[in-house]
């Protein structure tokens, strides 16, 4: 399989003004600014195969967006090389634009006061799509992403989930071979998140699109990706198959229940009660010990449930576990198995 994305020793340093304390410090900084270097992305390297869905995950400020911006040609790196579909993103940005798409969960590419159909029209012209092809593609995507009813509604009146589906359609109009999705499910509720994930998977299956996905959400990674790269402080700390990651780092979930009456849960191995009130129960489930189906089955059998939410461990905890294990591996003899399994 060919590589869709190839990155070698890619690095980005920002020059930032140093902050100084107090009023006097602020005045001095205004007239005699002192700059310092901020290493946002340390030299990193990886490859993404064509048709692969790669999760690029990490906590706030880890360097995910900076990496995506370099791979889409928005930012020039300080050093290193990258190729996306054989093109250098920052030198051949225009050509690359015809081959890749991007969705930024926190930044819209749709005109806020206009209906999506107008933004699509404009994008169709930018991508030089022949009129008939454009209309066929737009209508096919609108149907698949179930946005036909909102095509003529101004974006400002759409819910976040509706807008996100329109954003993805906008990114796919020109049949890109690689799509960068930066936090595509941020701020969405569980059901809408699930829908967006299904649509993303369908797009990969049906069109063979390579997907580069950043997310804080362990659920996105578990459900969408086979491989994940974890970045922290601008450095890749893990490049691993998601199945293995799930076994080693995503080993618990939190279940929160709203109850209609008091519930007495029998002791279950791997299940710890975090909090219990007359009408609520919060549990920690170690999924390496007990399956979620079994726990949910027991809960349904024993309790009158009003509502249930299931949460993945926060990213910070996953990172802490990775470091913990890295340290343990570093203590092992040199001939033992490496931490990063790659793809």
Ligand X SMILES: Nc1ncnc2c1ncn2[C@@H]1O[C@H](COP(=O)(O)OP(=O)(O)OP(=O)(O)O)[C@@H](O)[C@H]1O
Q: Which residues bind ligand X (CB under 6 A)?
A: 14, 16, 38, 40, 58, 60-66
Nearer to ligand X by C-beta: 35 or 112?
35
Question: Nearer Cβ to ligand X, position 15 or 32?
Answer: 15
- Do the bridges between strand 227-232 and strand 53-57 make them parallel or antiparallel, or are there none, so unpaired? parallel
SS3 content of the chain, % helix, strand, coil (to 5): 35, 30, 35
Smaller CB separation from ligand X, 225 or 303: 225
- Structure tokens of 267? 């002791």
Question: Given the complex with ligand X, which of 9 and 38 has the nearer CB atom?
Answer: 38
Minimum Å gap between C-beta 30 and ligand X is: 18
Of the pair 76, 258, the CB lying nearest ligand X is at 76
Nearest distance from C-beta of residue 320 to ligand X, angstroms: 17
Judge residue 338's burial from the number of C-beta atoms within 10 Å of its C-beta, 0-12 exposed, 13-18 middle, 19 or more buried. Answer: exposed
**Contact by Cβ (8 Å): 302, 315:** no
Helix locations, the chain, DSSP H: 22-31, 64-71, 93-97, 116-126, 131-144, 160-172, 190-207, 218-224, 242-248, 292-302, 315-330
Q: How far is the CB of 12 from ligand X (least distance, A)?
A: 8
Contact predicate 72/89, CB 8 Å: yes
CB of 213 to ligand X, least distance (A): 13
Minimum Å distance from CB 186 to ligand X?
9
């Amino acid at each position: 399989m060919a590589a869709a994305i190839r990155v070698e020793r890619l690095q980005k340093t920002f020059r930032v003004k140093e902050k100084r304390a107090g009023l006097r410090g602020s005045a001095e900084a205004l007239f005699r600014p002192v700059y310092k270097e901020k290493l946002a992305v340390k030299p990193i390297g990886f490859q993404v195969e064509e048709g692969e869905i790669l999760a690029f995950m990490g906590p706030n400020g880890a360097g995910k967006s900076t990496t995506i911006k370099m791979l889409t040609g928005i930012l020039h790196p300080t050093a290193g090389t990258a190729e996306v579909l054989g093109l250098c993103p920052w030198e051949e940005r225009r050509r690359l634009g015809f081959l890749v798409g991007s969705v930024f969960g926190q930044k819209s590419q749709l005109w806020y006061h206009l209906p999506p159909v107008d933004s699509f029209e404009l994008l169709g012209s930018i991508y030089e799509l022949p009129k008939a092809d454009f209309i066929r593609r737009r209508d096919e995507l609108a149907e698949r992403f179930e946005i036909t009813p909102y095509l003529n509604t101004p974006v400002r009146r759409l819910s976040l989930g509706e807008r996100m589906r329109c954003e993805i359609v906008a990114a796919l109009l020109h049949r890109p071979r690689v799509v960068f999705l930066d936090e595509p499910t941020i701020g969405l509720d569980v059901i809408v998140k699930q829908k967006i994930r299904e649509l993303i998977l369908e797009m990969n299956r049906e069109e063979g699109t390579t997907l580069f996905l950043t997310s804080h959400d362990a659920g996105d990674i578990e459900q969408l990706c086979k491989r994940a790269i974890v970045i922290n402080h601008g450095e890749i700390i893990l490049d691993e198959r998601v199945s293995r990651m799930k076994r080693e780092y995503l080993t618990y979930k939190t279940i929160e229940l709203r109850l209609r009456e008091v519930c007495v849960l029998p002791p279950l191995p791997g299940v710890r009660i975090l909090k219990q009130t007359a009408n609520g129960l919060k549990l920690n489930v170690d999924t390496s010990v007990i399956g979620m189906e079994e726990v949910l089955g027991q809960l349904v059998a024993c309790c009158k449930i009003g509502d249930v939410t299931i949460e993945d461990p926060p990213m910070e905890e996953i990172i802490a576990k990775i470091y913990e294990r890295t340290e343990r591996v570093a203590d092992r003899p040199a001939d033992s198995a490496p931490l990063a399994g790659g793809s």
